[in-house]
Chains A and B, each alone.
Chain A
Amino acid sequence: MLEIKDLHVTVGEKPIIDGLNLIVSDGEVAAIMGPNGSGKSTLSYAISGRAGYEITSGSVKLNGEEILGLPADERAAKGLFLAFQYPLEIPGVTTMTFLKAALNSQRKHRGDAELSTPDFIKRVRAAADKLGVPQDMLRRAFNVGFSGGEKKRMEVLQMALLEPTFGILDETDSGLDIDALRVVSEGVNALRSPKRGFLVITHYQRLLDYIVPDTVHVMSKGKIVKTGGKDLALELEKNGYRDYVAAA
Chain B
Amino acid sequence: MAIATTSRPRDEPDEADPMNMRAKPTPTPTESALALAFQAAQDKPGVPQHVAYWRARAFSTFSDLGLPTKHVEAWHYTDLRAALAKPYALVDGDVNVSPEAILQLAPRLDGLAAIRIVLVDGVYVPALSDSAAMPQGVTLRAMDMALASDDVALLTALAAHGLGAGDGPIALNAALMHGGIVLDVAANVDVKTPIEIVALATETREQSFFSRSLVRVGQGARCTLVETHVGKGAVAAQKNDVMIFDVADAATLDHIVTSPRNALGSVQVSTLLANLGAHSKLQSFALVSEAAFLRRQTFLRFNGSHASALLSGVSLLSGREHCDVTLVVEHIAPDCQSREIFKHIVDDAATGVFQGRISVAQGAQKTDGSMSSRAILIGDDAAMYNKPELEIFADDVVCGHGATCGELDEDQVFYAMSRGLPRLVAESLLLEAFAGDVVDKIENEILRDHVMERVRTRLAARSHA
Chain A interface (Cβ within 8 Å of chain B)?
Answer: 48-51, 71-73, 75-77, 81-82, 84, 87-88, 90-93, 97-98, 101-103, 105-106, 109, 158, 162
Contact = CB atoms under 8 A, between A and B. Distances in A.
Question: 4 closest Cβ contacts across the A-B interface?
Answer: A92-B433, A106-B420, A102-B419, A72-B417
Contacts of A51: 410, 414
A158 B421 CA distance: 13
B416 A90 contact: yes
B265 interface: no
Contacts of A158: 419
Interface in B420-465: 420-423, 425-426, 429-430, 432-434, 436-437
A109 B410 contact: no
B418 interface: yes
A92 B436 contact: yes
A6 to B, nearest CB: 24
A77 B420 CA distance: 6
B413 to A, nearest CB: 9
18 contacts: A51-B410, A72-B417, A73-B418, A73-B423, A73-B426, A84-B418, A87-B415, A90-B415, A90-B429, A90-B430, A92-B437, A93-B430, A93-B432, A93-B433, A98-B419, A105-B419, A105-B420, A105-B421
B420 A109 contact: yes
Contact of B419 (A71, A92, A162): A162
A90 B433 contact: yes
B380 interface: no
Given A87-B415, A88-B411, A88-B415, A76 B437 contact: no
Contacts of A87: 415
B412 interface: yes
Best-surrounded residue of B415, B418, B423, B433 (most CB of chain A within 10 A): B418
B414 to A, nearest CB: 5
A82 B423 contact: no
Contacts of A106: 420
B420 A76 contact: yes
A51 B419 CA distance: 15
Nearest to B439: A92
Contacts of A92: 432-434, 436-437
A97 B421 CA distance: 12
A91 B429 CA distance: 10
A51 B411 CA distance: 9
Nearest to A91: B433
A103 B420 contact: yes
B425 A101 contact: yes
Nearest to A50: B414
Given A73-B417, A105-B422, A106-B420, 4 more contacts: A90-B416, A92-B433, A92-B436, A105-B419
A48 B429 contact: no
Contacts of B412: 88, 90
Contacts of B434: 92
A97 B452 CA distance: 15
A73 B420 contact: yes
Contacts of A84: 415, 418
A101 B422 contact: no
B110 to A, nearest CB: 19
Given A102-B421, A105-B420, A72 B414 contact: yes
Contacts of A82: 418
A11 to B, nearest CB: 14
B423 A71 contact: yes
A101 B416 CA distance: 9
Contacts of B430: 90, 93
A136 B4 CA distance: 51
Contacts of B409: 88
Given A73-B417, A84-B415, A101 B423 contact: no
A48 B420 contact: no
Contacts of B436: 92
Nearest to A110: B420
A71 to B, nearest CB: 7
B433 A102 contact: no
Contacts of B432: 92-93
A71 B420 CA distance: 10
Contacts of B418: 48-50, 72-73, 75-76, 81-82, 84
B246 to A, nearest CB: 35
A77 B421 CA distance: 9
Nearest to B409: A88
A21 to B, nearest CB: 24
Interface string B378-415: 00000000000000000000000000000001111011
B411 A76 contact: no
A98 B430 CA distance: 10
Given A51-B410, A91-B437, A98 B420 contact: no
Nearest to B419: A102
A76 B419 contact: yes
A73 B411 contact: no
Nearest to A102: B419
A84 B422 CA distance: 18
A101 B421 contact: yes
A84 B418 CA distance: 10
B410 A105 contact: no
A72 B415 CA distance: 9
Contacts of A162: 419-420
Contacts of A105: 419-422, 425
Contacts of A48: 418
B436 to A, nearest CB: 5
